[in-house]
Amino acid sequence: MPLYSYEGRHQQSSEKVSGVRRAASHAALGQVLLREGILLTHYKLKSSSRFGLRSLLQSLQRVPAIERVLFTRYFSLMIRAGLDVKKALVALERQAKNKQLKEAIGGIKNSIDRGTTLADGMSFYPVVFPPIFISMVRVGEATGKLEETLKLLAIQLQKEYELKRAVRGGLLYPAVIMTAIVAVSIAMLVFVIPKLAEIFEGFEVDLPLTTRVLLSFGSFFEVYWWLVIIGLVLLVAGIRGLLKVKAVKDMVMQVFLYVPIIGKIMRQVNLGRFARNLSSLLQSGVSYVDALRLLGANTPHGSYAKVYLEAAEYVQKGQLLSQFLIRHERLFPPLVVSVIEVGEETGSMAEVLLEIAQFYESEVDQVMKNMASVMEPFLMIVIGLVVGTLAVSVISPIYSLVNVI
């Protein structure tokens, strides 16, 4: 989090105070100091080369999903066992392995000592605790059902983790194969092609087009290998930078929806996440409209996020969610809309959404398990083309050399 130097004045004694403290923003800093009886009068964001490097390193750190799952599960268990929130946080801080999570737990504990609620303490660490998480905790505190809310959150986070793991597991095999193909091609350019070029230079033989192209690549790579590496690094960095631009990312995600296989998986993942998150929010006591707004603010896929935000405004006017979703058939199949309509009519939306979530989560899990067999024909074609091109480019000139000799 950013580091601020600040100046303030005690509200009761008017005594001036100053110091340095981390906070999510200057507004959050002002709120924390105000709870301590200090009125913020001046602040400055600390900046130095060392702090810049530290900020960069912190920005690269992430709390693993499994760490967040374990934190929530153990927190719920400790509250159920009779521990108060502060003692539970002390125990969780001791056992936390992730540095960022440990610092967040310590900060929350200090905030509670100053009189803040658990949800307000978590709100100072948005990287560790997303808004959906904080909203559910806030409702759990207000209704006196914190233990049940944390248990529900643990289940939701566990399912989210399993969904991501299934997707990554299915993509692992194609990624390994494509990496191997690239590695073999680079090895040919570095070690084999230069040797062949030396042999062919001593003979006046007409080389096939593929061989000439391969030799040109090999010669360029041998001399300008550093330029190739710099180009690849810049390309990767440029793509990552563009994908951080919301408009570009939303456009790419929209295009992926029309890609065979990938589009289907993407829809299933988003439908499973939508149903699971909305069900959890409704069960925890978050209002219908607020739940949809939270989903819109925290959904990575721009098309779905836009629909959720528009749906919140539509539902706020007294209309049914199913009547709005039927307009977006590409994102929400008629079967899903029909099931949601039944849930609205029977007043069992949370239960119905949970059924939808379980269905699509199992579908994604099954599809990703079969991904290797689905992708195998395509990968075999790619491997065949690469190996065949390399073989023809190398063997064909050798036959020509034999005839010349």
Residues 362, 318: one domain? yes
The answer to whether residues 47 and 11 belong to one domain is yes
pTM, rounded to two decimals? 0.69
Answer yes or no: is 377 within a domain. no
C-alpha to C-alpha distances, 374 to 63, 178, 256, 369, 381, nearest whole angstrom:
33, 15, 18, 10, 13
114 domain-assigned: yes
Per-residue pLDDT, averaged over 130-154, amounts to 85
* Residue 242 lies inside a defined structural domain of this protein: no
Give a yes or no: residue 197 inside a domain. no
Tell whether 189 is covered by a domain.
no
Domain that holds residue 8: 3-60
Would you give the DSSP letter of residue 259? S
- Structural domain includes residue 129: yes
User: Domain boundary residue among 158, 191, 220?
Assistant: 158
- 154 and 71 both lie in a single domain: yes
The residue behind tokens 């960095």 is: 237
- Can you list the alpha helix ranges (DSSP code H) found in 188-245? 193-201, 209-223, 225-243
Q: Are both 45 and 82 inside the same structural domain?
A: no
* β-pairing verdict for 16-22 and 38-45: unpaired
Domain presence at residue 225: no
Q: How many separate domains does the chain show?
A: 3
202 has a pLDDT exceeding 70: no
362 Cβ neighbours under 8 A, 6+ residues apart: none
Please report, for residues 4, 25, 187, the alpha-carbon distance to residue 182 in angstroms, rounded to integers and kept in the order given: 47, 45, 9
> How confident is the model over 10-57, as pLDDT tens digits?
767 777 777 777 676 666 676 677 767 777 777 777 644 344 444 444
Are 69 and 150 part of one and the same domain?
yes
Shared domain check, 341 and 319: yes
CA atoms of 302 and 321, how far apart (whole Å): 19
Pick from 115, 120, 130: nearest CA to 62: 130
User: How large is the greatest C-alpha to C-alpha distance in the chain, in angstroms?
Assistant: 102
- d(CA 3, CA 205) in angstroms, rounded, equals 69
| Summary mean pLDDT of the chain | 81
Backbone φ and ψ for 213, nearest 5 degrees, come out as: -65, -45
Which residue do the tokens 């939270």 mark?
294
Lowest-pLDDT range of 70-74, 99-103, 108-112, 193-197 = 193-197
Q: Is 297 exposed, middle or buried (0-12, 13-18, 19+ CB in 10 A)?
A: middle
Q: Which of 60, 81, 97 is the last residue of a domain?
A: 60
Q: Write the pLDDT tens digit of every residue in 214-244.
A: 778 877 877 787 888 898 899 989 988 888 8
CATH number of the CATH domain containing 308: 1.20.81.30
Q: Per the domain annotation, does 69 fall within a domain?
A: yes
351 and 336 share a domain? yes
What is the distance of C-alpha 298 from the center of its chain? 11
Domain identity same for 42 and 81: no
Return the minimum-mean-pLDDT range out of 67-76, 272-281, 392-401: 392-401
Among 169, 139, 163, 164, which residue's Cα sits nearest to residue 153?
A: 139
Distance CA 347, CA 217 (A): 66
